[in-house]
Amino acid sequence: MTKQTKKQGKLIVFSAPSGSGKTTIVRHLLKQDHLNLAFSISATSREKRGTEEHAKDYYFLSAKDFKQHIKDDDFLEWEEVYRDNFYGTLKTEVERIWALGKNVIFDIDVSGGLRIKRKFPEQTIAIFVKPPSIDELKIRLKKRKTESDDKINMRISKASAELATAPLFDVIIENDNLEKALTEAEHLVSDFINK
- Cα separation of 172 and 158, whole Å? 18
**Residue 131 — φ and ψ, nearest 5°?**
-75, 160
CATH superfamily, region 3-194: P-loop containing nucleotide triphosphate hydrolases (3.40.50.300)
Residues 6+ apart with CB under 8 A from 172: 127, 128, 129, 130, 166
Per-residue pLDDT of the chain (195 residues; tens, 9 = 90+): 544 444 579 999 999 988 888 999 999 999 999 999 999 999 999 999 889 999 999 999 999 999 999 999 999 999 887 788 899 999 999 999 999 999 999 999 899 999 999 999 999 999 999 988 888 888 877 887 777 888 888 878 888 889 999 999 999 999 999 999 999 999 999 999 998
Domain definitions of the chain by residue range: 3-194
Whole-model pTM: value is 0.86
- Classify 82 in phi/psi space as left (phi over 0), alpha (psi -120 to 50) or beta: beta
| Cα–Cα dist 169/153, whole Å | 25
Which of 63, 57, 1 has its CA nearest to residue 26?
Answer: 57
- Digit-coded pLDDT (tens) for 105-128: 999 989 999 999 999 999 999 999
**15 class by beta-carbon count within 10 Å (0-12 exposed, 13-18 middle, 19+ buried):** buried
Could you give the CA distance from residue 16 to residue 3 in angstroms, rounded to a whole number?
Answer: 30
**Which pLDDT value is given to residue 3?**
43
Backbone angles phi, psi at 169, to 5 degrees: -85, 160
Instruction: Measure the CA–CA gap between 90 and 163, rounded to whole angstroms.
Output: 26
